[in-house]
Amino acid sequence: MKKIVILDGYTENPGDLSWEGLSALGALTVYDRTSANEVAARIGDAQIVYTNKTPITRETMDACPNLKFISVLATGYNIVDVAAAKEKGIPVTNIPTYGTAAVGQFAIAMLLEICHHVAHHSDAVHQGRWASCPDWCFWDYPLIELAGKTMGIIGFGRIGRTTGRIAKAMGMRVIAYDAHTDDEGREIAEYVDLDTLFACADVIALHCPLFPETEGIINKNNIAKMKDGVIILNNSRGPLIVEQDLCDALNTGKVYAAGLDVVSTEPIKPDNPLLNAKNCLITPHISWAPKESRQRLMDIAVSNLKAYLDGAPINVVNP
């Protein structure tokens, strides 16, 4: 029987899902978390390993000669030395497309919270402020209507288009920048160049991958091209933003607010400048995490292993 090891299963399955699909395919050992110095020992003589954010290096592969299959419990796979795996004939698979709906929904959730501060006003009511209010209503922040405003989306793949559809349904004009354009995208948005997007958008949502050309795309020079009072959303990759530049723009009011589910280093460092920025909503990288999305991830993870065992691996990132 094949030995299967999951190095860091807790974030994918803190207890509300079942590993049964994988345990049916081999002798399964699940670790909630694994530190860097424990990786090789925990893999041991296993043939199959799953990881989410625990790195698997060339040295680990050298120390685990039985290893035949690596699967990442996420879409991004930079934590695996895929070149070394290819040299050793080890396929590396990932989980594509599982969180499209959830991530698009979360981008809009951050935007609506910025526009209405729902949680704050509910807390104020529970604190007794409405009961003691001399007027029949009150609000502590400007309330923003989105209909008629322009949403600019950088990266218009599956997730960007999901966000665009929701924004359009709320009456927003949607513009998009992407290296690839097609008719499906044109049904949702008007494609524009990057400078036009910066100049025209009231809200900018980042849904692009992290490439050398997109790293730091939100920086002081590009912020200067934006409308005063723009709102910026990022639940893609933290390094898309130069964080000190965004902090400065938030504190001067050039950027009205930001909704961020990702930062440059995760977990966030205590000295991250955005922790002290005005109007900056930060959540702990949870866009992907609804149970429905994680179940979809689990199902694909099982399918990846079944396909490999059947001799026709799928979702291989190092063919």
Q: Which residues are identified as catalytic?
A: 237, 266, 285
Q: Which of 205, 206, 196 is nearest to 227 (CA)?
A: 196
Give ∠ CA 311-315-318 in degrees, rounded to 5.
Answer: 90
Q: Which two tokens stand for residue 237?
A: 């990759």
Instruction: Compute CA 165 distance to the chain's CA centroid, rounded to the nearest angstrom.
Output: 18
The answer to whether 186 and 218 are in contact (CB under 8 A) is: no
Cα atoms in the Cβ-side hemisphere of radius 13 Å centred on 117: 15
Q: Taking every pair of C-alpha atoms in the chain, what is the biggest distance, in angstroms?
A: 74
Pick from 51, 60, 64, 151: nearest CA to 110: 151
Token pair for 6: 């999951």
Contact between 308 and 69 (Cβ < 8 Å) = yes
Q: How many CB atoms lie within 10 A of CB 101?
A: 17
DSSP 8-class letter at 190: E
Phi and psi angles of residue 179, each rounded to the nearest 5 degrees, phi first: -65, -25
